[in-house]
Structure 1
Amino acid sequence: MATTVDRTKVMEYVGRETPPTQWHTVDQAAINEFADCTLDHQFIHVDPERAKQTPFGGTVAHGFLSLSMLSHFAEEFMVMIEGAHMGLNYGFDKVRFIAPVAVDSRIRARAKFIDITETKPGQFRFATQVTIEIEGQDKPALIAEWLTMQLVA
């Protein structure tokens, strides 16, 4: 559940790291559905038998599937400004895919607020460093600098 804060206190979150989110399992059904949505049916994602012959030993999630999970994980780590009537995805300053997410792996997010700027009255831009961890792995799936906006009445 997102934390709600008064607009006069939101800047206090810059530099803070959030606790990790709950784990989420990335199963073959989700990978297949993502492949259908994006029209990316590369065998490494959707053909378990053929994928066994690769260095991964099985199917792996699309990097963009792992990235798209940020919206889900943000429900747990995001700080919402009291009175915000809209949140917007503003983009990314940096995204790096570090390690593949094998089918049936569990992933979670850690976030750190690196900047919060009121770009104009009632419009706040958040820069959040997000790391998607893979359970039992030393390397994360990805690290991204995610930009979001909140519009406050």
Structure 2
Amino acid sequence: MSEEALEKAYETMTSRIGEQTTQSEWFEVTQERINDFAEVTMDHQWIHIDVELAKAGPFGAPIAHGQLTLSIMGHLPKAADAANEAITLEGQKLSINYGFNKVRFPSPVPAGAKVRTTGTLKTVEIKGGMIEVMNELVMEVQGQEKPCCVAESLGRLVF
């Protein structure tokens, strides 16, 4: 990619800093998905997979693993962006996950709940011929006031 094209993409992105750039559709976190995640990660704690015991537990129902919540959180904005044709940058080949900062789980995600993620663009930097972006992501549970996950998502846009 030419330096000129990289600068143009950088200008496009920096003009959007502070804006809500994405909001996903509602997504149901099923008990089946929670059970599948428990299998893959070998985390079979009863608060996630034992429906009857979890009903009598501190949350009144089985809840999603924090790591499952984070995994879904990172995917939902990408799905929304693809559906809504979010910011388009000429010459961009792909985007890669570079990590997360300040991940917090203020409230649980009960099995069967619907969640959605909202993203706000916070920073944009050119690094090694790529553009690194940081988005503040907030995941909410439908009908709950407190978010279930808040994180800074780092991505690199490859040209």
Question: If the length of structure 1 is used for normalisation, what is the TM-score?
Answer: 0.89
Q: 1:18 aligns with which of 18, 21, 33?
A: 21
Q: In the comparison of the two structures, how many residue pairs are matched?
A: 146
SS at match of 2:62: coil
Matched residue, 1:141 = 148
What is the match of residue 127 of structure 2? 119
More displaced 10-residue stretch of structure 1: 97-106 or 13-22: 13-22
* 1:21-40 correspondence to structure 2 within 5 Å: 21-40=24-43
Question: Aligned partners of 2:90, 2:42: CA distance in 1, in Å?
Answer: 39
Percent identity for Structure 1 against Structure 2: 34
Q: 5+ unaligned residues in a row in structure 2: which ranges?
A: 1-7
Secondary structure of the equivalent of 1:91? strand
Q: Say if 2:132 and 2:155, in contact at 8 Å, map to a contact too.
A: yes
Give 1:19 shift. Answer: 4.9
SS at match of 2:15: helix
Cα drift, residue 80 of structure 1: 4.7
Q: Residue 76 of structure 2 corresponds to which residue in structure 1?
A: 73
| Farther-moved stretch of structure 1 (58-67 vs 10-19) | 10-19
Question: Pick from 43, 46, 51: which aligns with 1:48?
Answer: 51
Maintained 8 Å contact 2:74/2:153: no
User: Any runs of at least 4 consecutive aligned residues in structure 1 with deviations exceeding 2 A, and if so which?
Assistant: 77-82
Residue 3 (structure 1) aligns with: none
Tell me the distance in 2 between the aligned counterparts of 1:37 and 1:104: 20
CA distance in structure 1 between the partners assigned to 2:73 and 2:88 by the alignment? 15
- Ranges in structure 1 where 5+ consecutive residues have no aligned partner: 1-5
SS at match of 2:63: coil
Which residue of 70, 90, 102 corresponds with 1:82? 90
The TM-score with structure 2 as length reference comes to 0.86
In the TM superposition, what whole-angstrom CA distance separates every residue of 1:31-79 from its partner, at most 9, and x where no partner exists? Answer: 0011111110101000001111112111000011111013321221464
Given candidates 100, 104, 113, the residue that maps to 2:108 is 100
CA distance in structure 2 between the aligned counterparts of 1:19 and 1:103, rounded to whole angstroms: 25
Give, in whole Å, the separation in 1 of the partners of 2:139 and 2:45: 23
* Higher percent of residues as strand: 1
Distance 1:9 1:53 in 2: 52
- In 2, Cα distance between equivalents of 1:90 and 1:19: 18
User: What is the RMSD of the two structures over their aligned residues, measured on CA atoms?
Assistant: 1.5
Alpha-carbon distance in 1 for matches of 2:88, 2:45: 38
Whichever residue aligns with residue 137 of structure 1, its letter is Q
More helix by percentage:
2
8 Å Cα contact 1:81/1:150 also seen in 2: no
